[in-house]
Amino acid sequence: MNIRSILSSRWAVLGGFALGAILLMGVAPAVLSDFRLGLLGKYLCFAMVAVGIGLAWGRGGMLVLGQGVFFGLGAYLMAMHLKLADAPASTGVPDFMALISSDGVPWWWEPFRSGAVTLIAIVVIPAVVAIVLGLATFHRRVRGAYFAILSQALAAAFAIWLIGNPRSTGGSTGLNNFKGFFGFSLRDPANRLMLYLIAAGALLAMIAIARQLMVSRYGELLVACRDAEERVRFLGYNPATIKTAAYTVAAVMAGIAGALFVPIVGIISPNDVGIVPSIGLLIGVAIGGRTTLLGPVLGAIAVAWAETSLSEQFPSGWTYLQGLLFMLVVAFLPGGLASLAPTLRDWRKHRRSDTAAGQPGVAAVPEGSA
């Protein structure tokens, strides 16, 4: 049995998930401080969006430049519910609204007083938006750069709308200062740990769903759409439906990620949902390796982690270093970090064959130069 078939066997997959679960849910809470664990929770939310982007972009070839919209929908829906739940029982008006207007709660906030409605909306609203948008564009065969521009414009419009309606959305400050999460105090470290574990569980579940989709017949069709859409159409399939399905799954994943981001991070603002964060999410996926299952996840976590630690080390010039890192990865590992192992393997093989051919000089190249 060769290595490839061992890796793809059912037991290896289960083992991989078990290892991931142990690392995320056992080791991380044990070794990280409360504060760092909260940060890891935030990275996991980005990783959830990345799983969806990996599916839509890596497998489906749709350059989704506006995932911030779905992330933001989930986040704002959750934030609205938390703000309403925190509001004083006497007036029922959240603190920030009372500060700048005396008009009371807008009508479209009212349904989200209910926790159940909110949880359903977090899944349904991003899904409906993605289905409508997906069918409308893919049926008209809008592809490539045009689809990318469209999704990006949507992200820009969403952020501008949020900023322009401070009375109902908190404007550029966004929504923050949440005291409870479905009745549980967010100040209690035990509850924060639970939120982290929920995020870790959600991420593992999303990876499992993405894997099932990738190895299924549907996954094959999706890749076929990416590589030769016209042929798929000739074979009698409708590429629009196939692509819309992947786009919708990605949107729902982003929505759930946003909803978990809110209680974990404690704030959502237009800065977290517009064009820049949408592209930021994409960068993580590109760096990790968009066509693989785990590449996007690891890439998103690595980019977010690098951003935090670089800005802590070099508060005045970290953005340059971050840019440099991106350039290095794109220049030397176009397939992303997930291609690091195969690249190294090729390089070793190459070196071994070179050595065998009697060129010891090549082997003397220091590791660091690679």
To the nearest whole angstrom, how small is the minimum distance from the Cβ of residue 74 to another protein? 15
If one counts every other C-beta atom within 10 angstroms of the C-beta of residue 351, the result is 15
The residue among 120 and 145 lying less far from another protein, judged by its C-beta, is 120
Site string for another protein, 100-119 (x = CB under 8 A): x-x-----------------
Token pair of 166 as six digits: 């401070």
Strands 267-268, 184-185: pairing is unpaired
Instruction: Pick the stretch among 147-155, 284-292, 295-303, 315-323 that binds another protein (CB under 8 A).
Output: 315-323
Site string for another protein, 203-242 (x = CB under 8 A): ----------------------------------------
Residue type, 193: L
The residue among 5 and 33 lying less far from another protein, judged by its C-beta, is 33
Determine the Cα–Cα distance for residues 177 and 326; give it in Å rounded to an integer.
34
Contact status: 321 vs another protein (CB under 8 A)? no
In 3-state terms, what secondary structure has residue 41?
A: helix
Instruction: Pick the stretch among 54-62, 63-71, 190-198, 327-335 that binds another protein (CB under 8 A).
Output: 190-198
Contact status: 156 vs another protein (CB under 8 A)? no
If one counts every other C-beta atom within 10 angstroms of the C-beta of residue 107, the result is 8
Which ranges constitute the DSSP H helices of the chain?
Answer: 3-8, 10-21, 28-31, 34-53, 67-86, 95-100, 115-139, 144-164, 166-169, 189-215, 217-227, 229-234, 239-265, 275-288, 295-313, 318-332, 340-356, 360-363
The site for another protein, by CB under 8 A, has a size of 52
Cβ neighbours of residue 125 under 8 Å, at least 6 residues apart? 73, 77, 255
Residues 282-311 that bind another protein (CB under 8 A): 308, 311
Contact with another protein (CB under 8 A) among 20, 106, 115, 171: 171
To the nearest whole angstrom, how small is the minimum distance from the Cβ of residue 165 to another protein? 9
The residue among 280 and 335 lying less far from another protein, judged by its C-beta, is 280
Contact status: 184 vs another protein (CB under 8 A)? yes
To the nearest whole angstrom, how small is the minimum distance from the Cβ of residue 176 to another protein? 6
In angstroms, how far is CA 211 from the centroid of its own chain? 16
Token pair of 83 as six digits: 């703000």
In 3-state terms, what secondary structure has residue 148?
A: helix
Question: Is the dihedral angle over the CA atoms 265, 269, 273, 276 positive or is it negative?
Answer: negative
Instruction: Pick the stretch among 14-22, 196-204, 222-230, 326-334 that binds another protein (CB under 8 A).
Output: 196-204
- Say if CB 148 and CB 63 are below 8 A apart: yes
Contact status: 36 vs another protein (CB under 8 A)? yes
The number of residues making up the chain comes to 370
Site string for another protein, 51-80 (x = CB under 8 A): ------------------------------
Determine the Cα–Cα distance for residues 318 and 307; give it in Å rounded to an integer.
8
Contact status: 34 vs another protein (CB under 8 A)? yes
Contact status: 35 vs another protein (CB under 8 A)? yes
Determine the Cα–Cα distance for residues 94 and 106; give it in Å rounded to an integer.
11
First to last CA, the chain: 31
Residue 138 CB-half CA count within 13 A: 28
Contact with another protein (CB under 8 A) among 190, 331, 341, 364: 190
The residue among 99 and 327 lying less far from another protein, judged by its C-beta, is 99
The residue among 34 and 346 lying less far from another protein, judged by its C-beta, is 34
Cβ neighbours of residue 59 under 8 Å, at least 6 residues apart? 214, 219, 222, 223, 226, 246, 291
Determine the Cα–Cα distance for residues 147 and 139; give it in Å rounded to an integer.
12
Contact status: 315 vs another protein (CB under 8 A)? yes
To the nearest whole angstrom, how small is the minimum distance from the Cβ of residue 162 to another protein? 11
Contact status: 176 vs another protein (CB under 8 A)? yes
Contact status: 90 vs another protein (CB under 8 A)? no
Strand partners, 185: 180
Which residues here bind another protein, judged by CB under 8 A? 33-36, 38-39, 42, 96, 98-100, 102, 160, 163-164, 166, 171-174, 176-180, 182-185, 187-191, 194, 197-198, 201, 265-269, 271-272, 308, 311-312, 315-316, 318-319
